[in-house]
Amino acid sequence: MFYRILRNTPQLFLPIRALPLLAIFAAAPVVAEPTIVELAAEASRPAANDLVRAVVSAEAAGVTPGELAAQVNSQIANALRIANGYASVKTQSGGTNTYPVYAKNGKIESWRMRSQLALESRDTGALSELLGKLQATLGVSNLVMEPSPETRKKAEDAAMLDALAAFRERANVLASALGKPYRIKQISVNTDGRIVQPMFRAAPKTMASEIAPMPVEAGESQISVSVSGQVELQ
């Protein structure tokens, strides 16, 4: 009878061999999860606009495409001849477009042609003088002032060091305020140079010998570098 009671009674206690394992779990310290904080910092440095790029164009209208080609090609050839006198200025032929002009009845009544010439130089004075001469027959359709690759890189490197220092300073301020040590878990660097395009005005068309240099103010661009990343507070 006693044997049957023991056999049919549910076991309400864990085996004795499981007790030491539970004791280990109860005594183990609770490890706090680290806190991850995202931070960002930015810095910029000025860079001289020591590279000038300009585009000049010849444009004409006429009855036949052949007539236009002769006129426009002559103007571009004359511009190249003048530009070749400036060793510090690089020249490159740009795009040429010929398109019809339609009348109200849908028929072609005339043609227009436009041809471009790209100029580039680190000598602002020389390019300014050349543009003044070319404006006697050509139009200036674009003018961009920007840092040369070497000048840009130098400013970017300096701005990057400033941005990294600002990032570390923010991490120190945050960790100090919370009273916790920290480590930089992840970081990325991005560069973005803001190019400032100068305002310019066209010189009045007079005799070629009286053309004044085109007014150009190089100025400088702000080269910006941003740093973002994650800081782990422990």
Query: pLDDT tens digits, residue range 107-117?
Result: 999 999 999 99
Closest by Cα among 16, 38, 50, 45 to 148: 50
* The token pair that represents 221 in the structure block: 């661009």
Q: Could you give the residue ranges of the DSSP H alpha helices within the chain?
A: 2-8, 19-27, 65-83, 124-134, 149-178
pLDDT band for 214, please (50, 70, 90 cuts).
confident
CATH architecture label of 31-50+147-234: 2-Layer Sandwich (3.30)
10-to-5, 13, 14, 74, 176 alpha-carbon distances in Å: 10, 9, 11, 109, 58
CATH 3.40.50.620 fits 52-146, yes or no: no
* Coil, helix or strand at residue 126: helix
Joined tokens for residue 144: 């961009």
Average pLDDT over residues 153-177: 95
Residues pairing with 116 in the sheet: 57
204 pLDDT above the threshold of 90: no
* pLDDT digits 0-9 by tens, 14-29: 455 555 555 555 555 6
Asked if the model's pLDDT at residue 32 lies above 70, the reply is no
Annotated domain spans of the chain:
31-50+147-234, 52-146
Single-letter residue type at 222: Q
More confident residue, 64 or 19: 64
In angstroms, how far is CA 231 from the centroid of its own chain? Answer: 27
Q: Which band of pLDDT confidence, cut at 50, 70 and 90, is reported for residue 164?
A: very high
- As a 3-state breakdown, the chain gives helix, strand, coil percent values, each rounded to 5, of 35, 40, 25
Whole-angstrom distance, CA of residue 111 vs CA of residue 121: 34
For the beta sheet containing 182-194, the strands, ordered from the edge strand earlier in sequence to the opposite edge, are 35-48, 220-233, 182-194
Predicted confidence band at 234 (pLDDT cuts at 50, 70, 90)? confident
What the block records as the tokens of 109 is 């009544």
pLDDT in tens, 69-119: 999 999 999 999 999 999 999 999 888 899 899 988 889 999 999 999 999
Q: What is the mean pLDDT of residues 219-234?
A: 92
